[in-house]
């Protein structure tokens, strides 16, 4: 069993390199590429402040109940159990990234955030880069789609961080249909960065956010989710961009209240 599992992990870690030659020149927009939602949330820190994007009701809830409130929040905010390296080893190639400044942070660092703060962005990017260096034919999609408490100087800092970490591994923005594995391998590119901010227009290696649309079903009903995905996938294929099928159920406030001590896994994920 252990030997078989090891072989599977090896296969998933290099699945792009192992694809048949007939797919090497196929546009990546035509391939189904596995990704993760709130990819960084395995690192969510219960000791951190509440994120600046949270409504006043949540802020007040935490101010009253403190650590207990944050432990309950984590059960609903952590959508992943594996770190970046483990996700990459399991075959994940798309990462959903949400970036925030932290109030009263003397180091003025950038953090991944989803309700509570997670790891430092720099550490996460370096972890992904280490995998790419060991697996030179694998390609990742980094989708920076939410920014909290960030001003121009913070975006400049993040752009420089990407340059310093990935350098020539990043593929400049071109027409989506031109991007194939063969093209990327020839150019020695391994990273496509999608950036949902006007800043993307100013930087050659940032792909505009509209090139990676992500319609959201926003439902707790599995049948409605399936109908939404089926209806949207045909329409999005016509647009000549990459796109995301969010196969996720989203808890409502009433869902959380009813299962406040249970958490996301027991209440939603098992559906």
Q: How far apart are CA 132 and CA 145, in angstroms?
A: 22
CA 75 to each of CA 25, 121, 264: distance values in angstroms, whole numbers, following the listed order: 42, 22, 6
Paired with 113 in beta bridges are: 117
Task: Verify whether residue 37 is a known catalytic residue.
Answer: yes
Q: Which of 37, 120, 47, 23 is nearest to 82 (CA)?
A: 37
Q: How far apart are CA 83 and CA 140, in angstroms?
A: 15
Q: How far apart are CA 218 and CA 228, in angstroms?
A: 10
Q: How far apart are CA 148 and CA 17, in angstroms?
A: 36
Residue 157 contacts residue 105 (beta carbons within 8 Å): no
Q: Which two tokens stand for residue 178?
A: 């031109």
24, 37, 189, 196: the catalytic one is 37
Residue 100 contacts residue 111 (beta carbons within 8 Å): yes
Task: Verify whether residue 114 is a known catalytic residue.
Answer: yes
Rg (the chain; Cα; Å): 19
Residue in this structure with the two tokens 């927009």, named with its chain if needed? 29
114, 154, 189, 196: the catalytic one is 114
Residue 116 contacts residue 74 (beta carbons within 8 Å): yes
> Any idea which residues carry the catalytic annotation?
37, 114
């Amino acid at each position: 069993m252990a030997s078989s599992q090891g072989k599977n992990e090896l296969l998933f870690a290099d699945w792009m390199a192992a694809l048949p030659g007939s797919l090497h020149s196929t546009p990546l927009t035509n391939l189904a590429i596995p990704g993760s939602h709130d990819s960084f949330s395995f690192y969510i820190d219960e000791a951190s402040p509440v994120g600046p994007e949270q409504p006043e009701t949540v802020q007040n809830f935490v101010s009253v109940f403190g650590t207990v409130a944050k432990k309950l929040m984590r059960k609903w905010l952590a959508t992943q159990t594996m770190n970046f390296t483990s996700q990459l080893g399991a075959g994940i190639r798309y990462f959903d990234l949400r970036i925030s400044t932290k109030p009263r942070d003397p180091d003025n660092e950038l953090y991944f955030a989803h309700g509570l703060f997670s790891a430092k962005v720099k550490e996460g990017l370096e972890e992904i880069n280490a995998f790419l260096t060991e697996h030179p034919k694998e390609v990742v999609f980094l989708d920076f789609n939410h920014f909290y408490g960030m001003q121009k100087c913070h975006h400049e800092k993040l752009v420089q961080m990407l340059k310093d970490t990935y350098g020539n591994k990043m593929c400049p923005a071109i027409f989506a249909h031109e991007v194939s594995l063969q093209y990327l391998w020839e150019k020695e590119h391994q990273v496509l960065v999608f950036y949902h901010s006007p800043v993307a227009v100013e930087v050659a290696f940032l792909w505009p956010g509209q090139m990676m649309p992500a319609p959201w079903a926003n439902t707790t009903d599995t049948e409605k989710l399936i109908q939404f995905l089926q209806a949207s996938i045909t329409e999005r294929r016509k647009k000549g961009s990459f796109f995301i099928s969010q196969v996720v159920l989203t808890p409502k406030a009433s869902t959380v209240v009813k299962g406040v001590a249970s958490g996301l896994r027991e209440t939603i994920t098992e559906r």
